[in-house]
Every structure is written in structure tokens, then in C-alpha cells.
Amino acid sequence: MKVKLLFFAMIREKIGKDEVDMEIFPGETLEQLTQRVLAPAFPHARFFKSLLYAVNEEYAGPQTILRDGDEVAFIPPVAGG
Amino acid sequence: MKVKLLFFAMIREKIGKDEVDMEIFPGETLEQLTQRVLAPAFPHARFFKSLLYAVNEEYAGPQTILRDGDEVAFIPPVAGG
Amino acid sequence: MLLIKITKENINREEVRRAVAHPDCGAIATFEGDIRNHNDGKEVLGLEYEVYEKMFQAEVKKIFHELAQRWEVKACALVQRVGRLDVGEAGIVIAVSSPHRHSGMAACAWAIEEFKKRAPVWKKEYYLTDAQWVLCNHGGK
Amino acid sequence: MLLIKITKENINREEVRRAVAHPDCGAIATFEGDIRNHNDGKEVLGLEYEVYEKMFQAEVKKIFHELAQRWEVKACALVQRVGRLDVGEAGIVIAVSSPHRHSGMAACAWAIEEFKKRAPVWKKEYYLTDAQWVLCNHGGK
């Protein structure tokens, strides 16, 4: 099962890419995926507290279970217009 | 003692002028002047209930006593921009 | 900065914006009042604005002065059209700039309400077969 | 009528206004967010906007849909600038047209607040010697 991850703003800069394709485990949640993917680059727990997620262009909670083909975006604090 | 009267909108149209100079009595109030000047053209008391006044470009109450040289404007209901 | 203007020409929106824009300010709130094609169930073909010009200037200045005491704003501008207007044309544009967006929007909304109550402006609507001065309730002061 | 647009060019304010103007409507409320020369006590030289474009469109559509359920409005438009901007340039313009002024101003003010909370837009500020992504609290949904 594969999902596409989208990175924006400070996450994009830290990761050095704006998107990657990634294998996920069956039943893996957004939160679990986030820990695998972002924790190495963002060691501070505080960062994750302010992080939101979107799955297929809709805001989604951390417990959302991912499905094959999902487009996952990590949404750091938005700044609006 | 003389004052200048300014007419606007439906008052201007009814009177047929946009301004006139007028002699006033010593101690004459805005309300008294209004009755003398406008009552013949506007027979309905309802008209006067919605009428406001300005003296020298400031809103003024009906009991205001006029002074020589005042510029008096009758302000029918405003419509704003 | 303050722009208060009465004009017989089309209102120049860019002039209004320029009058309030400032590098200190993140927000510009604008209200534009356009001539509608109907009012009170009647078709409106156009209208005529009449203004008591000197008092208009004085009264709008007072409104902006009060506004600046209530909200943190940088600049205010108001342009009122007079004379004959067609449907769709702008009768008034008000703009307020402020460091932050909340104060600007609130101040602009307040300014329109005060203006509609207090500014000596009258409006005659032209219909298919007749015309009429529009009577709104007013407050004065 | 609905205009939702992301652009690398200067925002065309007249295009925004035309998108919402309608002969039925007496009121156009507009909010413009400009780049300020300072933030949090630091001098700002310019900034960069980044947008998650597809989600941006979807989210703004939702905001306008909710807005139309709350207020009597005729049309909404929103244009967001992306890329590098200088101080004084407009980052966003939102406009709402409505038959009456109260609903238009209230709807426009509400739209900005929702937009700032929900729209996937990020902002990097450039200072004299460094740069920083601006962290605002956000709500999401």
C-alpha cells in the first residue's frame, strides 16, 4: 500500500523535498506515519502539537487510518493571507 | 437680524430655491422659524417629526435660538451613500 | 491621512486605496455602495445624490475622528458621488487601513452606519414613470 | 458567482470587484491584506507565500459555501498571491457582494477569520539578516 506525502513550508525545507511516495503498513494511522517520517527531522514534541493533517485535500484527525493511494499533507501552522 | 436658510432634496424642490436670506425675530427658535417658513409648503405634521436641523454645519435641536448671521439647514431624512 | 471627497465623476477606487495604504498597515477594509436595480419592490433606473457639501465634510471628519478614538486605525478615506448615477455605479466608497485586520473591519462597518445616520446626503430614485426622494429613518445627533 | 484564484502576479483588484458586482447588489465589502514593514518588532523586508493549491481551492469553496448559508450574499471572490512579495503589496483580497450592507460586511469579516484559520497558506518573512516561517495558531477543523 502506497501513499503520497506532501511537505510544505518549514517541513518542505527541512526534508528537502515537496513530495515523496511511501509504503504504509496496513492499519497505519496518520499519527504513526508522522512519527516515522517526521520525528527524525523534528525532535521536539511541541512541533507535533501544532501539526495538522489533510488526507485527499480535507483536514483529517491523527487517528485516521490511511488507505492505498491517499494523498497525505502535513499542515504546519497556517499563516493565512 | 438675518439668517441664511438652506433647502435640500424634497424641501428644495417644493420651495423652488436652494437658499434664501431671512429676517428673524429676536429669540426665535429653529422650531418657530421652521413653522413660519415650511408649514405652508408642508401641511402634514408628520413631515416635521422626521426633520432635523443644522446651524452653521452642526446638527442643532429645535429649541436652538438663532443668532444673526447663522446658516440654517433643514435636514430631511438622510439616505446616506 | 484623511481623504474626504465629493465628486461628480466615477469614483476612483485606486485613489481611495492609495489614500489609506501604508507600509505600517496590514489590512485595508473597504465598503462600496452601488446603485441597485430595485428598491422596495420597484425597478430603479438610476438615481440622483444631493449633498450639503460643507456640512458633509465637517460631519465625516467628526465620524473619522470618533473612529480613530475607538479603533487602532492608520488612515480613513471616503468618496461620495453626487449628481445623476446609473445602476451599477458606485455611490460611495469608504476605506480604512489598520495594522491588524479586526480593527479595520470593525471600524469600517461602524463608519458606514454612522455615515448613513449622520451625513447630509439625499437620494432621489428614478423609476419607469416617476421619481421619489428616498426616506430613511435618521438619527442625526 | 465565485472567483477563487491563486496568482504569482500582482492582485488585480478590479478583477475581484467585477467578479462580485451585480445590479441586484447594493454593497460590496472588501478586505485586503498587505505586506507590512514590521512584525513582532522586527523589520520585514518582504515575504514569500506558499500554498497547497488543490486543498486551498477546496477549503475556500467550503468557506464560501458556509458563508452563503449564514448570510444573504450574492457573490464571493478571493485572490491569494503566492511567491515572493514586497512590503506594501497585497497578499490577499476578499470581496463579498450583498443586497444589503450589514450582511456583506459581516460575511466578509467572517470569511477572513475562517480563511486565516483554515486555508493552507504559509508565509516566510525575510528580515535584514535572516528569514522565518511565521507561526500562527491554527484551528483547522
The answer to whether position D141 is within a domain reads no
User: How far C91 CA lies from chain B's nearest CA (Å)?
Assistant: 6
- φ/ψ of residue B55, rounded to 5: -120, 125
Q: How confident is the model at residue D40 (pLDDT cuts 50, 70, 90)?
A: confident
Query: Which regions of chain C are under pLDDT 70?
Result: 136-141
The C-alpha torsion from D12 through D18 and D19 to D20, rounded to 10°, is: 120
- Backbone conformation region of residue A57, classed left if phi is above 0, alpha if psi is from -120 to 50, else beta: left
pLDDT for the residue C136: 65
The pTM for the full model equals: 0.92
The H or E element containing residue D124 is: strand D121-126
The answer to whether position D68 is within a domain reads yes
Q: Which residue range forms the structural domain that includes residue C61?
A: 2-133
Q: How confident is the model at residue B79 (pLDDT cuts 50, 70, 90)?
A: confident
Q: Does B52 touch chain C (CB under 8 A)?
A: yes
More confident position, C140 or D50 = D50
pLDDT in tens, A54-68: 999 999 999 999 999
| Chain C residue whose CA is closest to D92 | C27
Contacts of B12 in chain C (CB under 8 A): 50
The mean pLDDT value for D87-114 works out to: 95
Q: Pairing between strand C90-98 and C27-34? A: antiparallel
Exposed, middle or buried by CB within 10 Å (0-12, 13-18, 19+), for D121?
buried
C92 contacts B54? CB cut-off 8 A: no
| Chains in contact with chain B (at least 3 beta-carbon pairs closer than 8 A) | C
Contacts of C126 in chain B (CB under 8 A): none
Position D132 pLDDT exceeds 90:
yes
Computed over every residue of chain D, the mean pLDDT equals 93
Cβ-Cβ contacts under 8 Å between C and D: the total is 88
Q: How confident is the model at residue A80 (pLDDT cuts 50, 70, 90)?
A: low
Of C26, C35, C87, which has the smallest distance from its Cβ to D33's Cβ?
C26
Q: What total of structural domains would you count in chain C?
A: 1
User: How far B9 CA lies from chain C's nearest CA (Å)?
Assistant: 6
Contacts of D109 in chain C (CB under 8 A): 105-106, 109
Position A4 pLDDT exceeds 90:
yes
More confident position, C139 or B76 = B76
Q: How confident is the model at residue D139 (pLDDT cuts 50, 70, 90)?
A: very low
Percent of chain A past pLDDT 70, that is, above it, reads 98
Q: Does B22 touch chain C (CB under 8 A)?
A: no
Q: How confident is the model at residue B81 (pLDDT cuts 50, 70, 90)?
A: low
| Chains in contact with chain A (at least 3 beta-carbon pairs closer than 8 A) | D
The answer to whether position D19 is within a domain reads yes
C17 contacts D27? CB cut-off 8 A: no
Do C and B share at least 3 CB pairs under 8 Å?
yes
pLDDT for the residue A36: 95
For residue C108, the domain's CATH number is: 3.90.1170.40
Q: A22 near A41, Cβ under 8 Å?
A: no
The mean pLDDT value for D101-106 works out to: 93
Contacts of D30 in chain C (CB under 8 A): 28-32
Indicate the CATH number of A11-72 among 3.40.1000, 3.40.50, 3.10.20, 3.80.10: 3.10.20
pLDDT for the residue C41: 86
pLDDT for the residue B71: 98
The answer to whether position D70 is within a domain reads yes
Q: Does the ipTM exceed 0.85? A: yes
Contacts of B10 in chain C (CB under 8 A): 122, 133
Q: Does C46 touch chain D (CB under 8 A)?
A: no
Cβ-Cβ contacts under 8 Å between B and C: the total is 80
CA-based nearest residue to D63, from D20, D104, D114: D114
Helical spans, DSSP H, in chain B: 9-15, 30-38, 45-49
Beta bridge partners of D122: D50
The H or E element containing residue D80 is: strand D75-81
Break chain B into its structural domains and give their ranges.
11-72
